Amino acid sequence: MLYDRFNRVLKNLRISVTYDCNFNCIYCHHEGWSYRDGDTLTAKEIGVIASVAKSLEIDEFKITGGEPLLRRDIVKIIATLRELKPRDISMTTNGFLLEKLAGPLSEAGLMRLNISLPTLNREKYRMITGVDGLESILRGIEAVYSYKLPITLNIVLLKGINDDEYREFIDFAQRYEAKIRFIELEPIVIDVKLFRKLYAPANKIIDYLEKISVSKIYRELNHRPIYILGNGTKVEVVKWLGNRYFCSYCNRVRLSPNGILKPCIMVEYGVDLKPFLRPTVDFDGLRNAFINVNQMRIPYNIVYHDFHEYSKGDTSSVDVSNSKCI
């Protein structure tokens, strides 16, 4: 098992399979890439990289994009990952194409789905995503539920747009036995002025959940709190601003569609894996690339003073050597 210089374990690989998207969300961070390069990895190459990750005990795979369901071979990618018998295979999707794909994805071995659902209001949905797609997403959620795939609803909080919808989301999630994840907007790739306009702290929701929940547990990734409600619904809150533990409990690295393995969403450097894949596979080269990228990992908010440029100049931080580790 790999540990980085801050004693943080590495167990999760986030695989972005395409830059393409059928939506144009106002908040999109594009997985931390401000540019795109068209030479996308094949399903086979993704499988080879995942097999090397698995050999290093990285055995949680999250598929993302762009919009992963736009890839015609997305079912094949999932089936390829399943052959490795990892602990977890999940996907984050906008859900627009889920109605038809839920069945094939489930049969191929997908274990759970995160569906981005920024609002339950049709007009707001169109305004946020650029697509009049709410009805399609709701049909997609029905389909996923009918295949008994566990669902998490991802809701990026947007000031004055959806930050007052949390009670509706809690009622909605119960119908599909879904987990809810409220995510504070992250200032990645998007314009700083837009970030300042749209950022809504999760504090109001946290106060509400503290009152109505029956218990609280912490997820290992980012030490995120998960509130358990009386009706059994789980509500996770992804609060990064002012949260010193956030990066201390990060356990992943990220693969871009064109094969760059990078240590953190906040940076645009890493190691290009393509020379180890083409024309022939160099397994030792790939293994060393994982080891090197793991060594590049840093608890970003501790080293960079808790994103102080966004937190009104609060530069309080803890010494890196005191970093809380898992």
25 touches ligand SF4 by CB under 6 A: yes
Nearer to ligand SAM, 3 or 195 (CB): 195
| Contact status: 23 vs ligand SF4 (CB under 6 A) | yes
185 binds, among ligand SF4, ligand SAM, none (CB under 5 to 8 A by kind): ligand SAM
- Spatial distance between the Cα atoms of 91 and 14, rounded to a whole number of angstroms: 9
Which CB sits closer to ligand SF4, 18 or 323?
A: 18
Residue 28 binding ligand SF4, by CB under 6 A: yes
How much is the CA Rg of the chain, to the nearest whole Å? Answer: 19
DSSP tag of 113? E
Letter for the amino acid at 254?
A: R
Binding string to ligand SF4 for residues 72 to 111, with x set by CB under 6 A, is what?
Answer: ----------------------x-----------------
Which positions from 115 through 144 interact with ligand SF4, judged by CB under 6 A?
116
Kindly state the tokens that stand for 251.
């356990």
Asked if 315 and 305 touch (Cβ cutoff 8 Å), the reply is: yes
For 228-263, the DSSP string reads: EETTS-EEEEE--TT-THHHHT--EEEE-TTSEEES
Partner interacting with residue 24 (select from ligand SF4, ligand SAM, none; CB below 5-8 Å by kind): ligand SF4
Contact string 74-103 vs ligand SAM (x = CB under 6 A): ------------------xxx---------
- Segment contacting ligand SAM (CB under 6 A): 40-48, 71-79, 179-187, 318-326? 179-187
CB neighbour list of residue 289: distance below 8 Å, 6 or more residues apart: 261, 271, 273, 276
- According to the binding rule CB under 6 A, does residue 24 interact with ligand SF4? yes
301 part of the interface to ligand SF4, by CB under 6 A = no
**Residue 22 neighbours by CB distance under 10 Å:** 16
The secondary structure of 116-176 as a DSSP string is: E---S-HHHHHHHHSS--HHHHHHHHHHHHHTT--EEEEEEEBTTTTTT-HHHHHHHHHHT
DSSP-assigned beta bridge partners for residue 61: 13, 89
Using CB distances below 5 to 8 A depending on partner kind, what does residue 162 bind out of ligand SAM, ligand SF4, none? Answer: none
Q: Which residues bind ligand SAM (CB under 6 A)?
A: 21, 27-29, 31, 64-65, 67, 92-94, 114, 116, 154, 156, 183, 185-186, 188, 190
